Structure 1
């Protein structure tokens, strides 16, 4: 957070200015609403002669480790779920080369690997993510955890690229007149997985930024 903005907010609150007045003044000076909200949220709304700073989330090795495990498990489960769906689509709609149907010799092996990865990664993600959310329910300040914010925005970036690639692939195939059923199903798979992740973490990021 910008130190100048934080110091101004502290002095304005100490002078008795209302939060709405402080926000309006900062907005008129060109500050963004997200920065204003973060600065105001840094001070608790409690009756005291001087502004009382909220407890700030700290960075610990354990917290970084837990969030890395959670998000790596999420990425692993999402990737293998998509790959599994693709393999099943390929099995249901095999490609034709001339008059012959082409089926990959490694299809069943790949499917077994995808299922194995999902059965390991997904339960790890669910168990740890539920524990994290229970901890946040007990202490809402934990939602502002820096590892959580970094990995949340990284996930938004990855899924946004994934969705953009999905749209580009759809347009490319449409322009080439190759919108086969298998292609549409694969694009829909990407849209569901990436879109679901993007929507969830976008809402989470907005809730964390809300004052």
Structure 2
């Protein structure tokens, strides 16, 4: 695989150096059967500047600081989202109590709500601060958008959010088909769907915006 990538990079460099346009190079590679994504990646390695030789773009590198910040960003996102959902579930249980709920579980609700509230109040500001810090760094150096750890964690987040949405809709349909829908149950489904859907929608939009930008 590495040698194949090197061959593609060498061809693109040689083609651009000999005066071939990017479109001509892309068309030739497409005719040879190269995937469009690989062709686009190889061409994007060189800047579109007026110079006799292809000018390489700066390549991002993975630093321990970068890995720490992205891990902290997504960990606090998961943590805050989970406890926000837990807090809203507890509020729904309090608003529409279930007569069959055990007294032990009902007595634990205030403690659960306090813990979830504290978790959200601590984790979300940390997430917002790290997100702002990384956003500023990306604005100063757009090449960092190609960071491997950023892309892997973003796609992992999309996967987790998609699984939650699929499970959420499956549970809703299952109970609807069984005639077991209640206001309390529907409210919980809506909460889970809104949290997971918001996360999925934002990061999908961010990836699509990145693909459209040069």
For the criterion TM > 0.5, the same-fold answer is yes
Counterpart of 1:166 in structure 2 is: 168
The alignment partner of 1:96 has SS state of coil
Q: Which structure is higher in RCO with an 8 Å CA cutoff and minimum separation 6?
A: 1
Counterpart of 2:197 in structure 1 is: 195
Counterpart of 1:37 in structure 2 is: 40
Cα distance, 1:28 vs structure 2: 3.1
Alpha carbons of 1:157 and 1:14: their partners in 2 closer, same or farther (altered >3 Å)?
A: same
Cα deviations by residue, 1:144-190 (Å, 9 ceiling, x for unpaired) = 12221111111011111111111111111111111111111111111
Unpaired segments ≥5 residues, structure 2: none
Hey, what's the Cα distance between the residues in 2 that align with 1:55 and 1:203? Answer: 25
Alpha carbons of 1:14 and 1:188: their partners in 2 closer, same or farther (altered >3 Å)?
A: same
Q: What is the TM-score when the length of structure 2 is the normalising length?
A: 0.90
Cα distance, 1:60 vs structure 2: 0.5
Q: Mean alpha-carbon deviation: is it higher for 177-186 or for 111-120?
A: 177-186
Q: 2:69 aligns with which of 66, 71, 89?
A: 66
CA contact (8 A) 1:23 1:36 kept: yes
Q: 1:19 aligns with which of 18, 22, 28?
A: 22
CA RMSD of aligned residues (A): 1.8
Unpaired segments ≥5 residues, structure 1: none
Cα distance, 1:204 vs structure 2: 1.8
Larger helix proportion of the pair: 2
Cα distance, 1:8 vs structure 2: 2.2
Query: How many residue pairs align between the two structures?
Result: 209
